[in-house]
Amino acid sequence: MATWSLTTDHVGANAATAAIGLAATTAAADALGLHPLVGVGAGAVGALSSIVVDGMAPPERVAANLARWGAAGGWMTWALAADPWTALGIGSLATGSVLGASLGPWLRRRAKAPAGARTNSGGSMILGSVARENEEWRQRIVARGGHPFHGLVVEAVTRWENGSGLDVRVCLPTAGATVDQLRYLAPGLAADANLPHGCSIEVIEPEGEGQRIAIMRVPTRVLTHLDEGHPLWEEQRSILDGVPIGAHPNGDTAEGPMREESWLVVGKKGAGKTTLLWGITATVGMCRDALVWHIDLNGGGMTQPWVDVWLDGRVERCPVDWAAPSIEEAIRMTKAAVRIAKHRKIAYRKRKKQNNTNLLPVGPDLPEIVIILDEGAEAMAAAGKGQVTELAATLEEIQRIARNEAVNLVLSVLRGTGDLVPAAMSTQTGVGICMKVRQTKEIAAVFESAWELKLRPEHLTAKGGGWIGVDGALPTRYQGWNILPDDMEQMALRIARVRPDLDEASARVAGEDYATRYERMREMFVEDAEIVEDEPTPAAPTATSGTWTSNWDLFGSASPSPSPSPTPSRTALPAGDDGIPDAEIVEEPVDDILIGALRVMADLGVDRASRGQLAARLTGGDEELLRKRMADAGAGAPHSLRIDGEPARGWYRREVEAALSVTPA
């Protein structure tokens, strides 16, 4: 028998009973000539009775009964005011009866479903599609975890704004499973959800909530390349705010603290480590209270894009305060850093007291020193002996004693294993980053929980991606920002204008090594510049008449030329054959460096010459003497160009001729 509760199994019977009952009641009221508002009163009485009878019932049942009574009262009012026995009246009565009757099976299924599938955290009704998704995740977890997960509630499934995945918020059962047990299920749950290869589920414990609450971070889209550029900060930052490096899969910014923590970055060649270090340089460089020092013993490639604007004379201050591309320079730098740290312990006691803090307050007048080391295998004790061991010991001392005094390391290595990174340094690292590696044990060398979390190298399919763990917390996935050469040039120009200078007390204790660093940097980086002008490579010269000597030493050097010409003489080029007018040939030896440079270019048949080519033939190989004499003669400092397709530093013929035209006789 159908009842007003509409909880019988047969929807058709319920609909027919409701329709006949409502039609008969309306017909009786019409025969008695009652006012149409009787329908409103009947609906109100029915709704009130429903609340009195079912007041302690589930909210869904109460809401369904109120909706049914409201619809019945509304139809009765309309029918008494008009003619109900038309197609519209009968059709609306039938449709409403069927919809009302359908609530019965729905209420029954809701009553049997777990609480987490019926309501959200506010206890309100959830749309059917959302409830089904919640229930699907609940069933996956229970099927994988078994009895300890019975009673688990999936409170919400929230889509990420970037469309790349979702968060599944769960509440674990009392006296049941723990969050660690849920983490153990993550790889299986990823397979059950048929996520794309490279998408792994992370289990996050939200701060400030109970230990039974967990959020499963479920990515559904794989990033295949560095598709998001560096923000390229325009406003100055503070080292106290942390250093962003990219984004988590859900779009949240991935960052780590650097005021008190050293960093360890691990990844095989091609994983994107240098790009990450470039991004860190751009961010730290824009801090009003931090300076960047670089160590790159693998040719200085990490530093070159940042110092070219300074080498070319476009800025007065070098964006990187100190750079060391050789082990000798790195030892000078790290020993100076140790002296600075020890001196700051004494020199700034009053500063701590004035600020009532045990941590040395940094600022524009006292910046933190961030030493970024690329390819650290060359700097670790296990990689060699002698100077390498000395450098490794100094780096370890910096990490051990200099945290409070605002001298910190960012160390990049191919592997985090003990053969490259001493255990003492690895354990003292506050921020760990692991990018693409070859074996799981290399991930475990950075994060002890790698085995437990089942982190595997194949999870990282995108270049520049990795895991980041801060201060012992569980590692989380991130995708690093990309930064291009033009971006670095733009940031280098900004940094050179706004970066702070080393405080006077620190500069004094750093001594002559620090005071003369730029002279050495200019020498060490000048030949490796990679920024070149867009000049066409001249065509190969053709032989004509005329000869002259090509191997001069205009300044009387006793030493022979280190780079003699392969032929004792060569023919001159007539004007216009290669688009380069011939230089004036001076038969007698002269002491003018500009005329000598033009002779060498004419002899080579090109419109440019490197500093090495000119020095070999004009100053007996003394490049510093050549640079000084060319500058004194008005040709300026050497700049970036290409010689036979290779980057070099030197002068163009037009620059030498321009200087010669204004040189007094």
Taking alpha carbons only, the member of 356, 352, 355, 396 closest to residue 373 is 396
**Residue burial 433-466, b: 16+ Cβ < 10 Å; e: rest:** bbbbbeeeebbbbbbebbeebbbebebbbbbbbb
Give the separation between CA 231 and CA 483, rounded to whole angstroms.
9
CA 368 – CA 292 distance, rounded (Å): 9
Q: What is the pLDDT of residue 482?
A: 93
CB burial of 328-367 (b: ≥16 within 10 Å; e: otherwise) equals ebbbbbbbbbbbbbbbbeebbeebeeeeeeeebebebebb
Torsional class of 366: left (φ above 0), alpha (ψ -120 to 50), beta (otherwise)? beta
Please report, for residues 34, 60, 65, 71, 81, the alpha-carbon distance to residue 99 in angstroms, rounded to integers and kept in the order given: 28, 15, 12, 10, 24
Pair 529, 308: CB distance under 8 Å: yes
What pLDDT is attached to residue 58?
Answer: 62
Question: Can you give the pLDDT at residue 124?
Answer: 43
Specify the pLDDT at position 178. 94
Give the H/E segment covering residue 491. helix 485-498
Cα angle at 19 between 18 and 20, to 5 degrees?
A: 95
- Cα separation, 491 vs 259, in Å, equals 22
Residues of the chain with pLDDT under 50: 1-7, 115-126, 528-590, 663, 665
* DSSP H or E segment with residue 477: strand 476-480
pLDDT of residue 362: 97
Terminal Cα distance for the chain, rounded: 122
Q: 443, 453 in Cβ contact below 8 A?
A: no
Distance CA 511, CA 514 (A): 6
Q: Which long-range contacts (CB under 8 A, 24 or more apart) does 204-207 make?
A: 204/476, 205/179
Provide the strand spans (E) within 349-436.
Answer: 368-374, 407-413, 431-434
Q: How far apart are CA 74 and CA 125, in angstroms?
A: 24
CB 289 within 8 A of CB 364: yes
Residue 649 has what pLDDT?
84
Question: Does this model's pTM top 0.75?
Answer: no
Which residues does 544 contact at the CB level (< 8 Å), separation at least 6?
571, 572, 573, 574, 577
Cβ-based burial of 84 (10 A; exposed 0-12, middle 13-18, buried ≥19):
buried
pLDDT at 481: 93
- Which among 271, 323, 326, 641 is positioned nearest to 467, based on CA atoms? 271
Report residue 570: phi and psi, to 5°. Answer: -145, 160
Across-strand partners of 298? none
* Residue pair 471/428 in contact by the 8 Å Cβ criterion: no
Adjacent-strand bridge partners of 245: none
